[in-house]
């Protein structure tokens, strides 16, 4: 099955840009890609994300765990409306803000 919106993490000045679909079949790839990048009070931008499912929430929480372990902070920006809804549904907004 072809993927139309390949998920990618790109390191940019002061943060990461996430693009493509953040779905169950791409979340592990995104996690693996992000392992190459340092977390140093990083801003993670979701402006180029095309679709999400609940695995996006899990991915965010995993990045937060990594940041806390490394005594760093993460800021998530430009979250798509459907991801904000999932975060609210699972009552984890306080954990990611």
Q: Is the whole model's pTM more than 0.85, yes or no?
A: yes
Q: What is the pLDDT of residue 8?
A: 96
Number of H helices, E strands in the chain: 4, 4
| Euclidean distance between CA atoms 58 and 73, whole angstroms | 17
**pLDDT tens sequence across 14-67:** 899 999 999 999 999 999 999 999 999 999 999 999 999 999 999 999 999 999
Instruction: Indicate whether 1 pLDDT > 90.
Output: no
Cα 72 to the center of its chain, rounded Å? 16
What are the chain's domains?
Answer: 8-96 (3.30.750.24)
């Amino acid at each position: 099955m072809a993927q139309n919106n390949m998920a990618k993490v790109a390191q940019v000045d002061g943060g990461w840009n996430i693009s493509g679909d953040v779905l169950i079949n791409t979340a592990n790839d995104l996690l693996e890609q992000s392992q190459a990048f340092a977390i140093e009070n990083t801003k993670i931008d979701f402006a180029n994300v095309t679709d999400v499912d609940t695995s996006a929430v899990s991915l965010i929480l995993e990045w937060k765990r990594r940041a806390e372990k490394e005594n760093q902070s993460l800021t998530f920006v430009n979250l798509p409306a459907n991801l904000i809804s999932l975060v609210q549904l699972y009552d984890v907004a306080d954990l990611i803000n």
